[in-house]
């Protein structure tokens, strides 16, 4: 038995396994050792509850961001995000973000509250903290939305009109009902836990990935033909690809640290895009 073991060891030393071979990291070619801008994605629930998402938040599960308790929690959250030291802040708003600055200036003069939205409560407060000169709105409409809006209202209905009206998110199937239960639990989290605890949970990998799963696991996505996949790709996926392109288009340097604040539903797709591109280095929220 001892001789057999010795023979095996000798053979292994002369014939190294395939796994021991060293292959070059793709970034050896794609980054060539150069520094690239760092990006931190922060997925949030909407502090002002605009009611535009498919799953509506019950009144008892809504927080009051203006309350003394939540403002204290907000400072803890801001202190945590500040570890990233952002040089540019990009938010879920249109390119014209003058209304955010106008609100901020009135807030500083004591004439108005800072908007309840996360774009103001997180974004504008960090603009002030790091003395940045502006905030960037990088949201975008989807291709499907634009094609539908440009259509002559008197023209005959087309396939585009059909899939635009599809509610590809949610449904009465079993997995959609389970997601509804899960989202109710998520809404309760923001009430029962601090903002930082809630954000750490919302921005964890499993939660983000399963969040995107709601779009593809059931509901109208699982259409008999291809209406579900077509609607999702031309509406939700396309919108996030356009958001990513807007971020790309903003001038940046290798030393920039770009903070992106969006509704948490956007983050799984944006995370995938930033993980794939060699142009940026993604920093995970829970690794700060």
If you ran DSSP here, which 8-state letter would residue 219 be given?
G
Distance CA 70, CA 241 (A): 33
pLDDT at 14: 52
Instruction: State the sign of the Cα–Cα–Cα–Cα dihedral 244, 249, 255, 260.
Output: negative
> Looking at residues 182-210, what average pLDDT do you find?
95
263 Cβ contact list (under 8 Å, min separation 6): 43, 44, 45, 46, 53, 92
pLDDT at 253: 97
pLDDT in tens, 83-131: 999 999 999 999 989 999 999 999 999 999 999 999 999 999 999 999 9
Is 218's pLDDT higher than 90?
Answer: no
> Looking at residues 46-66, what average pLDDT do you find?
79
Is 52's pLDDT higher than 60?
Answer: no
168 Cβ contact list (under 8 Å, min separation 6): 215, 219, 220, 221, 228, 231, 232, 235, 236
Is 12's pLDDT higher than 80?
Answer: no
- Among 15-24, 38-47, 171-180, 273-282, which stretch is predicted with the lowest mean pLDDT? 15-24
pLDDT at 16: 53
pLDDT at 82: 98
pLDDT in tens, 155-177: 788 888 888 876 656 678 899 89
**pLDDT, averaged across the chain:** 90
Pair of tokens at residue 285: 């929220």
């Amino acid at each position: 038995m001892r001789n057999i073991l010795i023979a095996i060891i000798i053979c292994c030393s002369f014939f190294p396994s395939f796994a021991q071979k060293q292959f070059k990291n793709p970034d050896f070619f794609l980054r060539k050792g150069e520094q690239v801008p760092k990006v931190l994605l922060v997925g949030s629930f909407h502090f002002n509850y605009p009611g535009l998402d498919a799953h509506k938040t019950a009144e008892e599960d809504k927080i009051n961001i203006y309350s003394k308790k939540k403002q204290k929690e907000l400072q803890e959250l801001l202190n945590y995000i500040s570890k990233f030291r952002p040089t540019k802040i990009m938010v879920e708003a249109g390119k014209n973000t003058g209304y955010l600055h106008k609100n901020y200036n009135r807030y500083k003069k004591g004439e108005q509250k800072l908007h309840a939205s996360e774009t103001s409560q997180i974004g504008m407060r960090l603009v002030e903290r790091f003395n940045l000169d502006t905030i960037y709105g990088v949201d975008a409409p989807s291709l499907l939305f634009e094609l539908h809006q440009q259509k002559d209202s008197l023209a005959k209905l087309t396939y585009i009109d059909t899939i635009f009206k599809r509610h590809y998110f949610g449904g009465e199937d079993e997995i959609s009902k389970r997601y509804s239960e899960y989202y109710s639990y998520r809404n309760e989290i923001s009430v029962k836990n601090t903002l930082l605890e809630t954000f750490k949970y919302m921005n964890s990998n499993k939660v983000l990935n399963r969040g995107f799963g709601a779009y593809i696991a059931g509901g109208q996505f699982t259409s008999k033909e291809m209406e579900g996949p077509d609607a999702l790709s031309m509406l939700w996926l396309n919108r996030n690809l356009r958001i990513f392109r807007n971020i790309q288009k903003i001038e940046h340097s290798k030393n920039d640290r770009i903070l992106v604040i969006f509704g948490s539903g956007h983050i799984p797709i944006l995370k995938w895009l930033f993980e794939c591109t060699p142009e940026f280095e993604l920093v995970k929220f829970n690794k700060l």
